[in-house]
Every structure is written in C-alpha cells, then in structure tokens.
C-alpha cells in the first residue's frame, strides 16, 4: 500500500499544473484514492466571484463521486506555498461525507515533505445529518 500512497502524492503534485488561480496565484493540487484503487486528481479553480471558487480537494472528490467512487480511503494535498496545504473547513466537511474517520490525509507544501493525519484528527466533530435527526 505504501507504493500506492507514493503514487497518490505524486499525482497530487502533478495536479498543481492544472490549477487556475489568477487571483491568489496559489496553486493547490489534490489526489484521492478510491476504495477501488483508482486515483482521481483535482486542482483549485478560482473565479472572480470568490464564492464560486472550488478547492482542489473538492474538485478531486467530485470527480471521484461523479465516476461512482463514493468511498475514498486517502487524499494527498499539496501546494506551491511555504506551509503545508491543509484543507479548509468546507473541504474537511465534504471529506467526512465520503471518507471514514480513519482515512489518511497527506499534506505537503513547497518543502516537499509530507505530514500524515487521520480525518478524525483534522475534523474531530464533523456534522452528521442523520445523527442530527436522532431523537433522544
């Protein structure tokens, strides 16, 4: 599995080339590993109407889900930034919809060093629609 994670990280770094970021000039690339073993990539896509911007993580997840891959086991995120490319809050919540709490999240930046986390570490109390509907 280690080789698959290295491939995932490499695909995330390659996805940086596809970023469209004329406003922030920050490029982010992401790659998700589906339960099937297939890797899906995404890059951030900015918009003049900033609310229409989509992060690389969500681009990769949407690509996977649109191909019927609804169980994601890992994600790698990297950027052309000096710090690590951690996912924003919206992306963390979207991850919780398609990833288990023990799913792996790899983050990197310009230094090319990778840190590894579990989804539960980055989003310990995610919103759960069905749990919110339970009656006491």
The set of catalytic residues is 57
- CB-count burial class (<10 Å; 0-12, 13-18, 19+) for 131: exposed
- Give whole-number Cα distances, 28 to 4, 45, 107, 118, 130, in Å: 20, 9, 11, 20, 32
Collapsed DSSP state (helix, strand, coil) of residue 105? strand
- CB-count burial class (<10 Å; 0-12, 13-18, 19+) for 134: exposed
**88: nearest Cα among 41, 32, 44:** 44
**Element holding 115 (H helix, E strand):** strand 115-118
């Amino acid at each position: 599995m280690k080789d698959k994670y290295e491939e995932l990280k490499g695909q995330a770094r390659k996805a940086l080339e596809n970023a469209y970021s004329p406003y922030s000039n920050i490029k982010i690339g992401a790659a998700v590993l589906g339960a099937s073993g297939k890797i899906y990539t995404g890059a951030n896509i900015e918009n003049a109407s900033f609310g229409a911007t989509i992060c690389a993580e969500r681009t990769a997840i949407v690509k996977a889900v649109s191909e019927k891959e609804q169980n994601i086991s890992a994600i790698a995120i990297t950027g052309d930034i000096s710090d690590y490319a951690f996912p924003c809050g919206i992306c963390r919540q979207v991850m919780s919809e398609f990833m288990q709490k023990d799913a792996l999240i790899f983050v990197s930046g310009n230094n090319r060093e990778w840190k590894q986390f579990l989804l539960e570490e980055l989003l310990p109390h995610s919103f759960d629609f069905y749990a919110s509907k339970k009656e006491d």
